[in-house]
Structure 1
Amino acid sequence: MAPHKLCMIPGPIEFHEDVLTSMSTPATSHVDPVFVPIFGETIEMVRTIVQSKVAQPFITSGSGTLGWDMMVNLLEAGDEVLVLTTGYFGDHFAECLEVYGAKITYLRAEPGSRPSKEAIADALAKTKFKMVTVTHVDTSTGVLSDIKAVTAQVKAASPETLVVVDGVCSVGSEEIRFDDWKLDVVIAGSQKGLGVPPGLSIVVASPFAIQTFKDRKTPVPSYYSNWGKWLPIMTAYEARKPAYFATPAVQLIYALHTSLKLILSQPLETRFKKHADVAADFRQTVRGLGLKTVAQSEEAAANGMTAVWLPEGVEVAQLVPALAGKGVQIAGGILQGLATKYFRIGHMGISVMDDDRQHIKKVKDSLVSSLTELGYKN
């Protein structure tokens, strides 16, 4: 790939050359016999990525946020929803669900931490929830939620409560065992740990979630997001048959197909361990500089990104362009009231898995030199 400014934000991430090449196909019909099996295999590989044998993937044109809207299929007006929020995206997921008539109970934690087991238990004892949502990695804070423990706790207290995981910033970089952990929904987007340009919304639903949709008492108040429209499409393509509701993003699905094949060419455990090792090393580098991560503990720190509090005397408006001048794009903060107090760096996909690219080393070197140039002394 030609030299370019590295995109080291928490998504979009750097794309493999083969992924980009796979988008350079000629104009292709979405019902072409060449494309149909590509889409079908892609659906199957998405199921594999979240380690499920029984879940139903939906791959549609849109951003990860469209996955929030798809929860309209599971909610009916007045349904109680417990939202475990660890930052900006947890809060806005709740805002989306309110549009569809959900009654939201927020369970917040201070920036860098996550709701406690005791707080969750107290909330579950007080209200019968239709759904509990949890952001696996909140991109605004770099906080990693323990979705295995949360799901076990929710299901023990209320087996029929749906557990919905926002995995937009975790799928492909964090371990997810959909079947073993009894998850009901995982929401993802193409542009983060899956290593594909933005434009695909991915939702994986359990058989229980699909049955909940089929058993609803009121019509789904949405057209494009309606699973009644999409289920026959996904089923048909997986059976290697063409079908049509809305035109899929053909070239992006080619790209996702290529990226998933690359990811699955080695054991998922190897991928998750490499992300964890690189993230731990990066956090150690940050601490070695005398800086603090937003995540308050190692257990609550994401493996695909890190948010870091700025040191005294350095502004985000200085640091971001300083790294950009060295060929590394990082991101500022987005938490309300704290956005100018910290910065965020992504470490996902090929930047982590391919040591020869030296992406992580370039980020570290650029960060150290930029801080020095801005007058920071450790």
Structure 2
Amino acid sequence: MAAQRKLCMIPGPIEFHEDVLASMATPATSHVDPLFVPVFGETIEMVRKVVLSEKAQPFVVSGSGTLGWDMMVNLIEAGDEVLVVNTGYFGDHFAECLETYGAKITHLRAEVGSRPSNETIKQAVSTKKYKMVTVTHVDTSTGVLADIKSVAEIVKAASPETLVAVDGVCSVGSEEIRFDEWNLDIVITGSQKGLGVPPGLSIVVASPQAIEVFKTRKSAIPSYYSNWNKWLPIMNAYEARKPGYFATPAVQLIYALHTSLKQITSQPMETRFAKHQQVASNFRKTIKDLGLKQVAQCEECSANGMTAVWLPAGVSVPQLVPALAAKGVQIAGGLHVKHASEYFRIGHMGISVMEDDRKHIQKVVDALTSSLTELGYQKA
């Protein structure tokens, strides 16, 4: 089976380091075992280091990245106004989640491959008071990178009380995030993308301001599993190197996350940001040299952990994806509702980027180039 396994180069799950996979093989272990408690506590502390925060509160909970959206139930109350800076599929669905809890949503949209301008955002927050502004840092459907630093600056200048919530599912671990310096309030992610761990952990980082909003809300939290009243004491206990229990944590996944975070934080985060930017820039140049066009419309709005590429005439997703798979490389088709059949997506993050000796990126380029030729594509 190992010989038949394809290199997983979709925008998540990504390739996992052998040591991370070995950690998943940890024997059955109690979640209150004296050996596990400090591992979980140190994991929580390392999450802060990844987003460059000294004072934020991480939550590491069993679930997908989508559970992070659901945890906004701790901050949103029925009738709250929320501005969604929308760059694709995941902006739409983050909004849908918040609407479930009674939020009144205003969408700020841009054409596919672009992002709302700073001027548009400034105008929006100057004309209405919002409880929260959400922004998808990298929308996995389009590969568009949002300028979360500028978004936070604009929002906080207009309304310091407004919470800035970043969907970082496809950005944490591969894109620059400076939680404290940029005055962010929420960063949401999952284990399976830039953090390089199998799916199954939802990770949310909350600012002191967000925690204060949670603690002083007027209404009861209409959720049980997502409720921070349940989870905050657990996170605090493990970080204090004491056991706690609300719901059983995914012990083996936390061991795996601990291993991956040890690797990630063994060098400055700036080194990791720069390497992802360099590899992504080179990959975008390769796409251009092949005569192809990426979905993201500008260099500064292009993600560094993935690339979405418009299909050339005469080539379809059902042709291209299997062609690369036959060469041992798994890529993804499109996801945006209106254009899913018109483009494909490739991930480049984690060990595939940080460890050159693996030659993952080159294998993708070779497989893509030869597959396009086989399918009759010729550069104009």
TM-score by length of 1: 0.99
Distance 2:45 2:174 in 1: 19
Q: Which residue of the partner structure matches residue 311 of structure 2?
A: 310
Alignment partner of 1:191 is 2:182: no
Gap regions ≥5 residues in structure 2: none
TM-aligned CA deviation for residue 266 of structure 1: 1.2
Q: Which residue of the partner structure matches residue 259 of structure 2?
A: 258
CA distances 1:311-344 after superposition (whole Å, capped 9, x unpaired)? 0110011000000000000000011120000000
Q: Which residue of the partner structure matches residue 291 of structure 1?
A: 292
Q: Which residue of the partner structure matches residue 340 of structure 2?
A: 339
Q: Secondary structure at the match of 1:163?
A: strand
Distance 1:256 1:75 in 2: 29
CA distances 1:103-142 after superposition (whole Å, capped 9, x unpaired)? 0000011010000112112211221100000000000000
Q: Which residue of the partner structure matches residue 362 of structure 2?
A: 361
Q: Which residue of the partner structure matches residue 76 of structure 1?
A: 77
Structure 1 residues 168-183: aligned runs within 5 Å: 168-183=169-184
Q: Which residue of the partner structure matches residue 53 of structure 1?
A: 54
Alignment partner of 1:235 is 2:245: no
CA distances 1:147-197 after superposition (whole Å, capped 9, x unpaired)? 000000000001100000000000000010000000000000000000000
Q: Secondary structure at the match of 1:241?
A: coil
Alignment partner of 1:112 is 2:113: yes
Structure 1 residues 14-53: aligned runs within 5 Å: 14-53=15-54
Q: Secondary structure at the match of 1:33?
A: coil
One-letter amino acid matched to 1:57: P
One-letter amino acid matched to 1:34: L
Distance 1:117 1:190 in 2: 30
Alignment partner of 1:123 is 2:148: no
One-letter amino acid matched to 1:347: H
Distance 1:223 1:47 in 2: 25
Paired residue total: 378
Distance 2:324 2:258 in 1: 33
CA distances 1:236-267 after superposition (whole Å, capped 9, x unpaired)? 00000000000000000000000000111111
TM-aligned CA deviation for residue 2 of structure 1: 4.7
Distance 2:26 2:348 in 1: 29
One-letter amino acid matched to 2:310: W
Distance 1:276 1:326 in 2: 26
One-letter amino acid matched to 1:134: V
Q: Secondary structure at the match of 1:41?
A: helix
Distance 1:114 1:20 in 2: 37
More displaced 10-residue stretch of structure 1: 114-123 or 203-212: 114-123
Alignment partner of 1:96 is 2:97: yes
Alignment partner of 1:151 is 2:152: yes
One-letter amino acid matched to 1:127: K
Q: Which residue of the partner structure matches residue 160 of structure 1?
A: 161
Q: Which residue of the partner structure matches residue 219 of structure 1?
A: 220
Moved over 3 A (4+): none
Distance 1:358 1:175 in 2: 24
Distance 1:265 1:119 in 2: 40
Gap regions ≥5 residues in structure 1: none
User: What is the aligned-residue RMSD (CA, Å)?
Assistant: 0.8
Give identity over the alignment, percent: 78
Q: Secondary structure at the match of 2:205?
A: strand
Distance 2:358 2:120 in 1: 44
Distance 1:210 1:140 in 2: 30
Distance 1:163 1:105 in 2: 15
Q: Which residue of the partner structure matches residue 12 of structure 1?
A: 13
Q: Secondary structure at the match of 1:165?
A: strand
CA distances 1:206-242 after superposition (whole Å, capped 9, x unpaired)? 0000000000000000000000000000000000000
Distance 2:35 2:228 in 1: 26
Distance 1:324 1:2 in 2: 15
